[in-house]
Amino acid sequence: MDIELNLTTETVEQTGLKDPLIVAPDVSIRDVFELLKTKKAGGLLVCEGDTLTGIFTERDALRLMAKQADLDRPISEVMTKSPATLAAGSSVAEAIKMMSGGGYRTLPIIDEAGKPLGVMSVKSLIHYIVQHFPQSVYNLSPKPIPAMEQREGA
């Protein structure tokens, strides 16, 4: 498998997108926190009807916790509005560029109408890369440094 070719020809959908968690803009921050915890998710999308209006991630949650913010305000006040998105059908290479360039860990994938189809995470990207180098990664010896510390019998 040639990863360079695959990166430019495979689409983001093929890396296995996660179904996005979606909430309405008027949901409270407290409910969002609890939802993220029960779903063990690192972020969610805020949608008005079918249209993506914002994103709320762990990082945003952290900022609120650090300044002891009031958790009963609606999520729309603290979400990141008009987040960076990728159009469906974009290549994996574009996703990597966007993630490492912008420092994003979660990219919503949207269709032409702006409806979110899924979320691409840095975790699924790492898994995708590992799968391209099974020889290198899955054949590792259990200890990073297998050599003996001292010569036998010396």
Q: Which is nearer to another protein, 49 or 136 (CB)?
A: 136
Residues 57 to 116 in contact with another protein, rule: CB under 8 A? 58-59, 61-63, 65-66, 68, 71, 90-94, 96-100, 103
The yes or no reply on residue 137 touching another protein (CB under 8 A) is yes
CB pairs under 8 A, 24+ apart, for 41-47? 42/105, 42/106, 42/121, 43/105, 43/106, 43/119, 44/20, 45/20, 45/21, 45/108, 45/116, 45/119, 46/22, 46/75, 46/76, 46/79, 47/22, 47/23, 47/116
Number of residues that bind another protein (CB under 8 A): 48
**Stretch of 17-25, 44-52, 56-64, 108-116 lying at the interface with another protein (CB under 8 A):** 56-64
Q: What's the sign of the alpha-carbon dihedral 57, 61, 67, 70? A: positive
Residue 136 interacting with another protein (CB under 8 A): yes
148 binds another protein (CB under 8 A): no
Residues that bind another protein (CB under 8 A): 2-4, 7-8, 30, 33-34, 36-37, 40, 42, 58-59, 61-63, 65-66, 68, 71, 90-94, 96-100, 103, 122-123, 125-127, 129-130, 133, 135-140, 144-145
